[in-house]
């Protein structure tokens, strides 16, 4: 009886410890301290393409360019150097979640000529739907809009706790577009956002 009770107590302690570990959360400060993170790519699930003259075939954009814009981080790692920008030792990539989410928008409703934006509350709702299922800190660029009228890409640079889906840091950023061809033209916008973060914003965010 005593041995059985000891086993029950030991098992309960293990379960408690496991549950506690599973619920552990990071803080905003950890965004800057942790050196290994996972990049989840560009999330277009709530994005709009503003300026109909610049987006004549939204079906092709969704089917081809959403993935093409993401794949640049793998194809050109020296140019889109996330580890350098965010002062990390290692940045793993996992585009599984955004690949699924980027199929969500209706291409027939992707393009608008009206102003479009969303706030941090929508960012939190998006991240809450992520199912990373592991411990650590994730990074994703949640695209708000590619705006041909303004020749600018708008996005939320977002760090989150992968195990809880809690947003740790989300910053609204804008980057000028430019270059030849649809892919390069809009890739320039998030390249410029990364450039701005590396030059000044990262340091400013640390001191907030």
Q: What is the DSSP string of the chain?
A: -HHHHHHHHHHHHHHHHHHHHHT----HHHHHH--EEEEEEEE-TT-EEE-GGG-S-HHHIIIIIHHHHHHHHHH-TTTS-HHHHTT-SEEEE--HHHHHHTT-S-GGGSEESS-----HHHHHHHHHT----SSSEEEEEEEEEEETTTTEEEEEEEEEETTTTEEEEEEEEEEE--SSSHHHHHHHHHHHHHHHIIIIIHHHHHT-
pTM of the model: 0.88
Closest CA to 102 of 73, 79, 131, 70: 70
CA distance 62 to 103: 7
C-alpha count within 13 angstroms, C-beta hemisphere, residue 125: 7
Tens of pLDDT along 72-100?
999 999 999 999 999 999 999 999 999 99
Mean pLDDT of 111-116: 97
Cβ atoms of 189 and 153 within 8 Å: the answer is: yes
Q: Residue 17 pLDDT > 70, yes or no?
A: no
CA distance 165 to 157: 15
CA distance 194 to 85: 7
Q: What is the DSSP string of 20-31?
A: HHHT----HHHH
Q: Residue 71 pLDDT > 50, yes or no?
A: yes
- The predicted structure's pLDDT at residue 14: 38
Mean pLDDT of 151-174: 97
> Token pair of 207, please?
């001191």
Q: Residue 144 pLDDT > 60, yes or no?
A: yes
Residue 123's pLDDT band, with cuts at 50, 70 and 90, is: very high
Cβ atoms of 149 and 189 within 8 Å: the answer is: no
Residue 20's pLDDT band, with cuts at 50, 70 and 90, is: very low
CA distances 43 to 35, 48, 151, Å, are 23, 12, 19
- The predicted structure's pLDDT at residue 128: 95
Largest CA distance in the chain: 79
CA distance 106 to 32: 36
């Amino acid at each position: 009886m005593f041995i059985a009770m000891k086993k029950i107590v030991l098992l309960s302690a293990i379960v408690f410890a496991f549950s506690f570990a599973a619920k552990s959360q990071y803080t905003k400060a950890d965004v800057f301290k942790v050196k290994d993170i996972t990049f989840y790519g560009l999330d277009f699930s709530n994005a709009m393409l503003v300026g109909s003259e610049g987006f004549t075939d939204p079906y092709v954009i969704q089917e081809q360019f959403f993935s093409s814009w993401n794949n640049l981080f793998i194809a050109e790692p020296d140019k889109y150097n996330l580890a350098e920008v965010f002062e990390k030792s290692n940045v793993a990539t996992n585009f599984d979640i955004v690949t699924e989410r980027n199929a969500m928008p209706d291409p027939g409703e992707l393009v608008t000529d009206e102003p479009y934006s969303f706030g941090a509350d929508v960012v939190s709702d998006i991240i809450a739907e992520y199912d990373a299922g592991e411990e650590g800190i994730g990074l994703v660029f949640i695209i708000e809009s590619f705006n041909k009228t303004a020749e600018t890409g708008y996005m939320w640079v977002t760090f989150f706790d992968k195990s809880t889906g809690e947003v740790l840091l989300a910053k609204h950023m804008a980057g000028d577009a430019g270059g030849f061809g649809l892919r390069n033209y809009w890739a320039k916008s998030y390249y410029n956002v990364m450039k701005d973060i590396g030059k000044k914003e990262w340091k400013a965010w640390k001191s907030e």
